[in-house]
Amino acid sequence: MPYFVDGFALGMQYPAVFSLLDWGEWRLWGILGVGILLGNLVQWCFHRLQSRLIRCPAVEGDRELSSLEIGKILTALNDVVLVLDREGRYLKIAPTQAPQLYRPAAEVIGKTLADLFDSDRAQFFLKHIHQTLDTQQPVRIEYTLPIAGRLVWFAAKLLPLDLDRVLCVAQDITDQKQAANAICLLNSQLEQRVQERTQALEVANQELEAFCYSVSHDLRSPLRRIAGFSQAILEDCADELNPISQSYLQRAIHSTERMEEMIDDLLSLSHLSLQELNAQWVDLSAIALQIARELQQTNPSRPVEFKIAPQAIAYADARLLQIALENLLENAWKYTSKQAAASIEFGILPHTLPWQPRLEETRSLDSQYRLRSPEPQTLTFFIQDNGIGFNPHYASKLFAPFQRLHNAQEFEGTGIGLAIVQRIIHRHGGRVWAQAALEQGATFFFCLPFNPTDPELPRITLGHLALPPESKSRSQP
């Protein structure tokens, strides 16, 4: 046995009786060395065992602490965490959300899906469990469970733990499903409202067409009779009528003619809402140049100079834009009739171009009007004249039907031309406005949207096409 003194091994004791032998000194030293080695080995083993026994409570404490922390984390989760085997047996249920469990955990552990659910639901879960285990890939599913008297939606993810067990992490998505269903219901209601509004609009359009037909036929006939009878009386009874009576009849004829003009304008305004847009890239400069030449031909002696910017293009319906430009240019032609040297200009504001023009090209208009394009990705056009202008206080009435800011006897017209212009520009998604002052001319602006990324977008150049009065030379660049 080992021999210790103060904890140190000094040798080995052998309680036995030997016969006296002559071992020699070297044998004694060998036995002593072996005893010392064995004693140190035993001491080392003893200390290792003792230290391990001392550390075990700390290890157990750490394990208990880790288990407690994991339990709290699982309790704080909003997900249901389950472990099931290939047969659908519940092996473990994490203490996460007890209210979201189909049944209490104690009643579920050890039971299979077939024990808890109907055959269809159990087969649904087993199918996806087998898919997860066979492919060793995660699988996502959605399902419903009746819990606490209400139907709860779950979104679950199945993860393979090994070849025979899966981890199921399920989350309550009932609120999301209800929100999605509410959105679907709202969309269906909106679609129904759109259909109802569309049907109402179709009925209104049909009524408008019927009204237009009635106006164009039923109202014109009485007017023609009045004009015809009045003209017949003037021709047949001219000798029997005094000048006052003849004046009355002439006024009646003139009123019927004016009424027919108003009917034509009303029909034109109503038809604008029914016509479909055929949008394409249109050269407004060419249209304006044609209208200017036609106006000059009506009165070649008038000294009116037209300045028309070249290649002012817009993405619009060519026919409707021609109607709008005709009304605007005819307005400018009419209200410059008293000017000794009239000037009418059509162009495009340079700072609304889809690229940056040169500074000297933008300075004049920008400094004069101090405005910018009202919306991005729009082109703003203008028609400017040096006519009599108008009081800017009444600018809001300009585009209302039959609203006139000047005397009809001084400047003829029905007061519906600018309303037609506004209707056309609005149908294209743009807007129209005016700036003016009395006896200082007027400028009408209208902006039209365009797509700057359109590969067919033509390039707009700045400058003017000068169109002198008809008595002088023709247009020159």
Q: Answer yes or no: is 285 within a domain.
A: yes
CA 12 to chain CA centroid, nearest Å: 95
Confidence grade of residue 7 (pLDDT, cut at 50, 70, 90):
low
Q: Answer yes or no: is 269 within a domain.
A: no
Identify the pLDDT of residue 367.
39
Residue 430: burial class (beta carbons within 10 Å; 0-12, 13-18, 19+): buried
Q: Tell me the β-bridge partners of 466.
A: 307, 476
How far is 188 from 196, CA to CA, in rounded Å? 12
Last residue of a domain, one of 143, 172, 201: 172
Identify the pLDDT of residue 444.
92
Same domain as 22, residue 163: no
Host domain of residue 138: 77-172
CATH number of the domain that residue 351 is part of: 3.30.565.10
Same domain as 284, residue 244: no
What is the overall mean pLDDT for the chain?
A: 76
Which runs of consecutive H residues, i.e. helices, occur in 273-339? 284-298, 318-335
Last residue of a domain, one of 172, 196, 226: 172
How far is 103 from 108, CA to CA, in rounded Å? 7
The domain tally of the chain equals 4
- Token readout for 418 is 């600018």
Q: What is the mean pLDDT of residues 125-135?
A: 94
In the predicted model, is pLDDT for residue 410 greater than 80?
no
In the predicted model, is pLDDT for residue 324 greater than 80?
yes
Residue 311: closest CA among 343, 359, 347? 347
Q: Answer yes or no: is 473 within a domain.
A: no
Same domain as 313, residue 458: yes
Higher-confidence residue: 158 or 25? 158
Q: Which residues contact 160 (CB under 8 A, 6 or more apart)?
A: 132, 133, 136, 137, 138, 166, 167
For residues 176 and 193, the answer to whether their CB atoms sit within 8 Å is: no
Same domain as 320, residue 439: yes
Q: Answer yes or no: is 16 within a domain.
A: yes
In this structure, of 161-175, 257-271, 313-327, the range with the lowest mean pLDDT score is 257-271
Last residue of a domain, one of 220, 255, 290: 255
Give the H or E element holding residue 392: none
Q: Answer yes or no: is 81 within a domain.
A: yes
Same domain as 149, residue 13: no
CB atoms within 10 A of CB 118: 10
Q: Answer yes or no: is 192 within a domain.
A: yes
How far is 268 from 300, CA to CA, in rounded Å? 29
CATH number of the domain that residue 155 is part of: 3.30.450.20
For residues 382 and 344, the answer to whether their CB atoms sit within 8 Å is: no
* pTM to 2 decimal places: 0.49
In this structure, of 8-12, 237-241, 284-288, 442-446, the range with the lowest mean pLDDT score is 8-12
Same domain as 327, residue 227: no
Q: What is the mean pLDDT of residues 363-369?
A: 39
Same domain as 301, residue 398: yes
CA 84 to chain CA centroid, nearest Å: 46
Same domain as 409, residue 437: yes
Confidence grade of residue 136 (pLDDT, cut at 50, 70, 90):
very high
In this structure, of 4-18, 31-45, 233-247, 404-418, the range with the lowest mean pLDDT score is 4-18
Same domain as 313, residue 410: yes
Same domain as 359, residue 294: yes
In the predicted model, is pLDDT for residue 293 greater than 70?
yes
**pLDDT tens column, 337-361:** 888 888 999 998 876 555 444 334 3
Same domain as 303, residue 362: yes
Q: Answer yes or no: is 62 within a domain.
A: yes
DSSP character at residue 217: I
Residue 474: burial class (beta carbons within 10 Å; 0-12, 13-18, 19+): exposed
Higher-confidence residue: 71 or 134? 134
- Token readout for 221 is 């006939």
Q: In terms of DSSP bridges, do strands 279-283 and 304-308 run parallel, antiparallel, or are they unpaired?
A: unpaired
Q: Answer yes or no: is 477 within a domain.
A: no
In the predicted model, is pLDDT for residue 453 greater than 70?
no
Same domain as 90, residue 36: no
**pLDDT tens column, 261-291:** 777 766 766 667 667 778 888 899 999 999 9
What is the phi/psi pair of residue 438, to 5°?
-60, 130
